[in-house]
Amino acid sequence: MKNKLATMFKYWIFLLLVELSLIIFGSIYQPIFAETFSKDEETYESLKLFSDVLQELEENYVDEVDSKLLIQNAIKGMVSNLDPHSSFMPPESFDELQDDTKGEFGGVGIVVAIKNGVLTVVSPIEGTPAYKAGIKTGDVIIKIDGESTADLELWQSVKKMRGEMGKAVVLTIVRDGVTDPLDYRLIRDIIPMTSVRSATIAPGYGYIWVTNFRDKTTEELKDALKKLESVNSPLKGLILDLRNNPGGLLSQAAGVSDIFLDKGVIVSIKGRFEQQTEVFEAHAEKDDKKYPLTVLINGGSASASEIVAGALQDHKRGLILGTTSFGKGSVQSVKPLRDGFGLKYTIARYYTPSGRSIQAEGIKPDIEVEYNLEEQDNEKSSEQSSMEKRMIREKDLRNHLEPTKKNIDNDNGIDKDNINVNKIKQDKHDKKGDVLNSTDKKERENSNKKQDSIEPQQSSSLLDIDKLKKDPQIQRAFDILVGYGVFSRIK
């Protein structure tokens, strides 16, 4: 008790000195800083209220309280109420975010998010244990190994689903239209982190599926294109599939876009302050890809994948096909704190080359094509169509940032002499920065940040060609490429 009283006495002395300093300083500079002091006073009064509550609980709560834990929970609540992508991370969560060196780990293979306060499946990843077991988009995970997910944070739920290969985990799921909860016993498998898979879908026509944007995605894409070009000379057209791609590294989104662009803005990042403004620009190279391009997106295409789709759409470099994307147009910074804690918070919005903000609105395709299979597969068609309707989007998340009505003019609205303009060159492709997690240049060089809401995709480069050909959106994209080739020959 004596230690506690001594601590409180020191704290009140500190507050008294702060208050005295504010009064003296304010009396001198009041005409200039009146508004600033008003805000400082409000903050000071709120801190006093916080201190009063903490002291009351420490002294009179029915059980002895852990003051450190109370303060941590208060910070957690403060940050989490800003927007769905800001969070105060304890050391375990921060380590998970920073540790991107394993290359692969055991998991079940699902993308999850918190929707309406519950752990919800955004999408199962093809070929993984969750996908094979029949877990579906929109499923609500209420238990993991018998433990309720109601009181778990997102990172805690993800961590519980990950584990050693060959070990089982039981997910209890509530599904729309099914009366009783369903138990799925999944055997964890290795989920490697390769992000690019490719195939020739017809002579001269390539297909590339980018599952997320990791630190080597740009190089993986270049390698995949070389392989496609080696067996399809010349390559007459390419389908770039970004469906259900949850995003990833900003540097890789810019690098992938630059493969298909030879000049102009790729993406602009604009925050409250000038130093948070940054422009990424394409540059010309001898091996820039010029062949016709169709890009597939849907409600699961988020963040970095929306940057690529937006850049190619605004430059009229590719035809965007599918359904409206997720709509995450914000940028987060990750800051390490004392004692191993971390803070992820939103610092800016990003804008497409034409100056559009897609926050909570998404990229709208040039040609809207719903996922409806041919009549001979009515059951799967109905299921997929239902999945599209159940997809979570940015606008569905609690406290999401509202769409901005103020777009920027990338030709006239940014003073490029006073901000950081990045020409995307080869040495930048290995820079580690995440449009979800950081725009700070030093941070991007020092840490490769993962999304805490996903498990990385499987790496098998083998794709089922017959299955691809039955996919209606791929069929439509292929028909457009073939049609373009036919019409380009007509004089």
So which residues are the catalytic ones? Answer: 303, 314, 328
**Which residue has 């480069």 as its token pair?**
461
Q: Which residues contact 203 (CB under 8 A, 6 or more apart)?
A: 232
Both tokens assigned to 373? 């299979």
- Please, which residues have CB within 8 angstroms of residue 130's CB and are 6 or more apart in sequence? 108, 109, 110, 121, 124, 171, 184, 186
Q: HSE on the CB side for 138, CA within 13 Å?
A: 14
What's the one-letter identity of residue 237? G
Axis-axis angle for helices 154-161, 91-98 (nearest 10): 60
**Is 317 strand, coil or helix?**
coil
CA–CA separation, 389 and 137 (whole Å): 9
Alpha-carbon distance 105 to 322, whole Å? 32
Strand 278-281 versus strand 420-423 pairing type: parallel
What does DSSP say about strands 87-89 and 342-351: parallel, antiparallel, or unpaired? Answer: antiparallel
User: What is the dihedral sign for C-alpha 74, 147, 344, 403?
Assistant: negative
Cβ neighbour number for residue 228 with a 10 Å cutoff: 21
Residue 342: phi and psi, rounded to 5, are -140, 155
CA distance 458 to 446: 26
DSSP 8-state assignment for residue 372: -
Cα–Cα dist 363/128, whole Å? 28
Helices (H), 359-403: 378-390
Burial of 27: CB neighbours in 10 Å, binned 0-12, 13-18, 19+: exposed
Please give the Cα distance from 296 to 288 (Å, whole number). 21
3-state DSSP call for residue 323?
A: coil
Cis before residue 234, ω within 30 degrees of 0?
Answer: yes
Rounded to whole angstroms, the Cα distance separating 82 from 245 reads 25
**In whole angstroms, how large is the CA radius of gyration of the chain?**
25
C-alpha span between 412 and 300 (Å, rounded): 33
Token pair recorded at residue 112: 């999850």
- CA nearest 242: which of 329, 290, 309? 309
Pairing label, strands 140-144, 168-174: antiparallel
